[in-house]
Structure 1
Amino acid sequence: MTDHLPDDRDAVREALIAWYEADHREFPWRRTDDAYRILVSEVMSQQTQLSRVEEAYADFLDRWPAVSDLASAERGEVVSFWSGHSLGYNNRAKYLHEAATQVVEEYDGEFPTDPDELQELMGVGPYTANAVASFAFDNGDAVVDTNVKRVLHRAFGVPDDDAAFAEAASALMPAGESRVWNNAIMELGGVACGQSPRCDEAGCPWRRWCRAYETGDFTAPDVPEQPSFEGSRRQFRGKVVRALGNHDELTLDELGPRIRVDYSPDGDGEGSRTWLRGLVDDLADDGLVEVAADDGGATRIRLRA
């Protein structure tokens, strides 16, 4: 699908990189090429507002400044931190901790530099692996995220198709410059070409080629809406982890009122003991908590170390 791209691709590339290098948002993870710090930022940024990520990122690195520090930490401490900073699914904390352990034990503390090998780390999928390879080692492919899809669709009419987006993004990226290019095109999507475009205000460098700017049609690819966090199962899972982080061990009925003011042991709907046991079992399946029955038959839960 590269036939949608302008003929003078060098001019397109130079315009974007010059725009980015002249002025861009200063995030702390953009001021480092340390693979560990970049991995932390990438995992934290998944479906989490960047304003919240910045504070959590600084606190996380104060506590675990190097990959060896994270690897030697107790998993429960990492999960409690994650939950306490409202960073989304606690599985991400678990996987980040396990990835750090892999780097220390299997790679002698040095991160792999290749996207394919980075995917061997726990919880690191193709997007995250490519981002770490790009921003830490300048050794990645073109990043294709929601921002990039929106830019390519609007500017050059690339069809709303994952394969088409990947092909077009790769064709545009200058060889061997994944660090600056991927930062620049994501910045363009985040600053100038958001859901409400700011073409002139942000000085978009692609206005002279952009179909949307020419036609006024700023239709963008469909983006699934993030489910509401308030009152969600994800929110209550986080509350369970935080409550257990403050106690060595709790029974179901001790835990219930700490996560819902309307907790009632009876019944089988939301707020019941059955509902809570389902949450706890999910967390146990994810390896985050341990569940056991005491001598009296009560179910007792604790964070897994």
Structure 2
Amino acid sequence: MTDSDATAVAGAGVDGDAPELPADLDAVRDALVDWYEADHREFPWRRTEDPYEILVSEVMSQQTQLDRVVPAWEDFVEEWPTTEELAEADRGGVVAFWSDHSLGYNNRAKYLHEAAGQVEGEYGGTFPETPEELQELMGVGPYTANAVASFAFDNGDAVVDTNVKRVLHRAFAVPDDDAAFAQVASDVMPDGESRIWNNAIMELGGVACGTTPRCDEAGCPWRRWCHAYETGDFTAPDVPEQPSFEGSRRQFRGRIVRLLGEYDELALDDLGPRVRVDYSPDGEHGREWLRGLVDDLADDGLVAIEERAGADEGRSADDGASEVVVSLRR
């Protein structure tokens, strides 16, 4: 999930066409928390209040299935267990780790590395604790900042991600309107309990109230109040489809980073055939196409491009592509 896919709600009073909530709101809250505490999925980042470990989990979880995140998260915090060690790490190695674990969007690794440097250099090794302060860290948007504030410091606001929208839409007939979702999410969350509440309501959306609801099988705690359970109408807000990864520029960017993690450097025409088998220097997927990818990666600070005078043996001296050498930025 990305920060653009979710909203961190800054308290009640958000305007929106929100429906009236059940009168016994305390019973609604208690039912959900009791359900979560009785049984929930065990993710390792749920067993810690370390803001660094939670930040790593949140960044990794953006648009990545959680079962794939678990081993990557465990390997990452073993390799770099503190912000100090991550900040001192070679950025190319961090990016290569990200790519090797197929986490996608390698610039997240760069931002995480830079955020660790900020924590060490600007905050004396101590994480800021509020959503507003956390957004000062590189690559940390409203959703991630609120998640870290909630799960590390119990100091966050209500979150509204895709799962939470689906829950609120079905349970309380909240219209598909961001302001309405924001208001209801904030009104339902008990004051000062963002850690347990945000975990619980996201768990409800992930386990009981998924795209295919499992109300009875999962023992949904909100059945007695749920509009969808009463009416049988389990429609949900529209969710934008993610673009296909296969054959995308994102896929090839990731492949370039992985390759450069294996080599100190590669000339453009040596890199090309390793990126895709149909690479042809002057073809549709040739030097111009590949140069566009590496330029994008360079703009993101992930790779370095060097224009070298002269050419490799066997290549024309005025062959511009043969003089372009790419490496991971260190």
TM-score (norm 2): 0.91
**Counterpart among 285, 291, 296 of residue 305 in structure 2:** 291
Q: Distance in 2 between matches of 1:11 and 1:97?
A: 43
CA drift at 1:4: 3.1
Query: Counterpart of 1:302 in 2: which secondary structure?
Result: strand
Residues 4 and 158 in structure 1, CA contact (< 8 A), matched pair in contact too: no
Residues 134 and 178 in structure 1, CA contact (< 8 A), matched pair in contact too: yes
Give 1:26-105 correspondences, 5 Å limit: 26-105=42-121
Q: Distance in 2 between matches of 1:279 and 1:4?
A: 51
Q: Distance in 2 between matches of 1:106 and 1:115?
A: 17
Which AA in structure 1 matches 2:61? S
Output one character per residue of 1:194-246: Cα deviation in whole Å (capped at 9) or x when no partner.
Answer: 00000000000000010100111100000111222111110100000011111
- State the identity %: 77
Q: Distance in 1 between matches of 2:95 and 2:182?
A: 34
What does residue 296 of structure 2 align with?
Answer: 282
Residues 96 and 123 in structure 1, CA contact (< 8 A), matched pair in contact too: yes
The answer to whether structure 1 residue 273 and structure 2 residue 298 are counterparts is no
The answer to whether structure 1 residue 120 and structure 2 residue 145 are counterparts is no
RMSD after superposition: 0.8
Which AA in structure 1 matches 2:253? R
Q: Distance in 1 between matches of 2:325 and 2:79?
A: 30
Residues 268 and 287 in structure 2, CA contact (< 8 A), matched pair in contact too: yes
Give 1:81-230 correspondences, 5 Å limit: 81-230=97-246
Query: Counterpart of 2:49 in 1: which secondary structure?
Result: coil
What does residue 271 of structure 2 align with?
Answer: 255
CA drift at 1:3: 3.5
Output one character per residue of 1:68-115: Cα deviation in whole Å (capped at 9) or x when no partner.
Answer: 110110110000000110101001000000000000000010000010
CA drift at 1:39: 0.1
Output one character per residue of 1:18-57: Cα deviation in whole Å (capped at 9) or x when no partner.
Answer: 0000000000000000000000000000000111100100
Q: Distance in 2 between matches of 1:164 and 1:68?
A: 41
Q: How many residues align?
A: 303
Query: Counterpart of 1:301 in 2: which secondary structure?
Result: strand
Output one character per residue of 1:134-156: Cα deviation in whole Å (capped at 9) or x when no partner.
Answer: 00000000011000000000110
Q: Which runs of 5+ in 1 are unaligned?
A: none
Output one character per residue of 1:128-186: Cα deviation in whole Å (capped at 9) or x when no partner.
Answer: 00000000000000011000000000110111111111111000000010000000000
Query: Counterpart of 1:3 in 2: which secondary structure?
Result: coil
Q: Distance in 2 between matches of 1:40 and 1:304?
A: 21
What does residue 300 of structure 1 align with?
Answer: 325
Which AA in structure 2 matches 1:304? R
Runs of 4+ in structure 1 displaced over 6 angstroms? Answer: none
Q: Distance in 2 between matches of 1:57 and 1:64?
A: 10
Higher RCO, Cα 8 Å, sep 6+: 2
CA drift at 1:2: 4.5
Query: Counterpart of 1:65 in 2: which secondary structure?
Result: coil
Residues 19 and 173 in structure 2, CA contact (< 8 A), matched pair in contact too: no
**Counterpart among 18, 28, 31 of residue 12 in structure 1:** 28
Q: Distance in 1 between matches of 2:324 and 2:154?
A: 51
Which AA in structure 2 matches 1:299? V
Q: Which runs of 5+ in 2 are unaligned?
A: 1-16, 311-319
TM-score (norm 1): 0.98
